Structure 1
Amino acid sequence: MTEYPSTPPSDAPAGSADGRSGFVTFVGRPNVGKSTLTNALVGEKVAITSDKPQTTRRAIRGILNRPGGQLVIVDTPGLHKPRTLLGQRLNDLVEQVLGDVDVIGFCVPATEKVGPGDRRIAESLDGYGRAKKVAIVTKTDAASRDQITERLMEVDSLREDWAAVIPLSAFTREQLDVLSDELLALMPVGPALYPEDVVTDESTEDRVAEIIREAALEGVRDELPHSIAVTIEDIAEREDGDLTDVYANIVVERDSQKAIIIGHKGSRLKDVGTRARAQIEPLLGTRVFLKLHVRVAKEWQRDPKQLGRLGF
């Protein structure tokens, strides 16, 4: 079982043609810590996180520059059995990304035994022969030494072609450098793909929309997260430059869901705005006036036209 880098990355600077660069994505069941790991590696929040399954809905690219090269980390939705057209499109997105990346990181939390879903995903990696595979045991900060050892043995036995099997904690950052060095060593030789000062290729509008959706997800019932989408109407800086107006829609599928999001006398919507604004302001670099409107788009997850309007 490999736990440490097998070949050290080049010491060439990230922008050098002698360095390495390429794409990596993390796969696993929903809620195994893929987005948290992406953010930890990049060193900045580029993907929203939540304890709700299927939080990630797009392929979000985070860029990590290291001595010797650049990693482009593509955060994707978790693989799952789709129940709606949206779910099927998310799975299709994951499959497309898996076919394009240089390395696939398979994630399993140290706190949970390897189950049928993990085995199914590990076996499905046979379909992506181009990519090298790395197994990652996440959330080691929440697990005992015995749990970590057991998980490493379980994961190692899933495939014979792991380039590495690495335990880590995105929360405490333990072993993150080991993972990034190993990933970089597996990348092809080539120049950086993005400028060194870029951390993501997400637009400002998309990042703001995701921040609002993350705030809306907090504390909602299990059936509601899948039904929430966010669109941005406008982001406009006022003439004095000290305040930015943000107008956004929170989209749900039913009137009953709209009532939940708004809350008693608008109390919950106000809380969503407060939490979102606290993250939008440092992103935009100004104070923010945030106006949220909740609207209903009936059964949008199953409607091709509405999915298209919402960007899926």
Structure 2
Amino acid sequence: MAERRCGFVALVGEPNAGKSTLLNRMVGAKVSIVTHKVQTTRSRIRGIAIEGETQIVFVDTPGLFRPRRRLDRAMVSAAWGGAADADIVVLLVEAHRGLSEGVREILSGLDRRVGDRPLVLAINKIDRVRRPALLALADRMRAARDFTAVFMISAEKGDGVADLRTWLADRLPPGPWLYPEDQIADLPMRMLAAEITREKLTLRLH
């Protein structure tokens, strides 16, 4: 029988990079709300996926940006905390935005917090950019940081997501599962329902 594995994977990136969409795709259900409005995710949300004998606990963090208000500072602090606690960190970068100033600031912050843990680059929304531009962006990102692995994905359409999930599952540490097999989030059902209601209101009002 294969050895069981379990660990935490933090999803970090700029606001609206697609972290919540990727989390929902990885889990196979809506556990994090998705809207066009930046900073929809306000706290660390854990989604749970099973890949073979591995339980992957994804931490969907608020988008990283330069905070101005007290709430902003709390959200950014939660995001960095999620990255610091994870076994593996996945940095999502929008293909059409590329190596922006915000991404450079995130890379600088990750250098101080990730240490020698795996840092994976996931170039998202690849359907918006032609292949030569994608390859050029991957080269620029590798020049800026030595990533453990690079994936090109479309979280919305699902392209490349299964390969990323398999890669993550193979590299998490051996250990017992932390949650029941049928649990997909660590949010209580009442709170999850409230989050989905907030998503619908945000989409309707903005």
**TM superposition score category, shorter chain reference:** over 0.9
Equivalent position to 2:139, from 153, 175, 185: 153
Aligned pairs for 1:222-241 within 5 A: none
d(CA) in 2 for partners of 1:104 and 1:130? 11
Equivalent position to 2:182, from 194, 197, 214: 197
Is 2:44 aligned against 1:59?
yes
| Contact kept? 1:102, 1:130, Cα under 8 Å | no
Q: Give secondary structure in 1 for the equivalent of 2:148.
A: strand
Is 2:158 aligned against 1:173?
yes
Q: Which amino acid aligns with 2:139?
A: M
Deviation at 1:157, TM superposition (A): 1.7
1:117-153 C-alpha deviation (Å, 9 max, x unpaired): 1111012111221532101101112222122212212
Larger Rg: 1
Aligned pairs for 1:1-312 within 5 A: 12=2, 18-128=3-113, 129=115, 131-160=117-146, 162-221=147-206
Q: Which amino acid aligns with 1:214?
A: E
Structure 2 unaligned regions, length at least 5: none
* TM-score of the superposed pair, with normalisation by structure 2: 0.94
d(CA) in 2 for partners of 1:138 and 1:209? 28
Higher relative contact order (CA 8 A, sep 6+): 2
1:53-73 C-alpha deviation (Å, 9 max, x unpaired): 101011111111011311000
Q: Give secondary structure in 2 for the equivalent of 1:64.
A: strand
Q: Give secondary structure in 2 for the equivalent of 1:218.
A: helix
d(CA) in 2 for partners of 1:167 and 1:192? 29
1:241-284 C-alpha deviation (Å, 9 max, x unpaired): xxxxxxxxxxxxxxxxxxxxxxxxxxxxxxxxxxxxxxxxxxxx
Q: Which amino acid aligns with 1:24?
A: V
d(CA) in 1 for partners of 2:143 and 2:4? 33
Structure 1 unaligned regions, length at least 5: 1-10, 13-17, 222-312
d(CA) in 1 for partners of 2:116 and 2:44? 19
Q: Give secondary structure in 2 for the equivalent of 1:197.
A: coil
d(CA) in 1 for partners of 2:148 and 2:175? 20
d(CA) in 1 for partners of 2:133 and 2:62? 26
Moved over 4 A (4+): none
d(CA) in 2 for partners of 1:33 and 1:132? 20
d(CA) in 2 for partners of 1:204 and 1:68? 26
Deviation at 1:35, TM superposition (A): 0.4
| Contact kept? 1:109, 1:139, Cα under 8 Å | yes
- Percent sequence identity is 37
d(CA) in 1 for partners of 2:58 and 2:38? 20
d(CA) in 1 for partners of 2:154 and 2:79? 24
* TM-score of the superposed pair, with normalisation by structure 1: 0.63
d(CA) in 2 for partners of 1:41 and 1:167? 15
| Contact kept? 1:132, 1:186, Cα under 8 Å | no
Q: Give secondary structure in 2 for the equivalent of 1:154.
A: helix
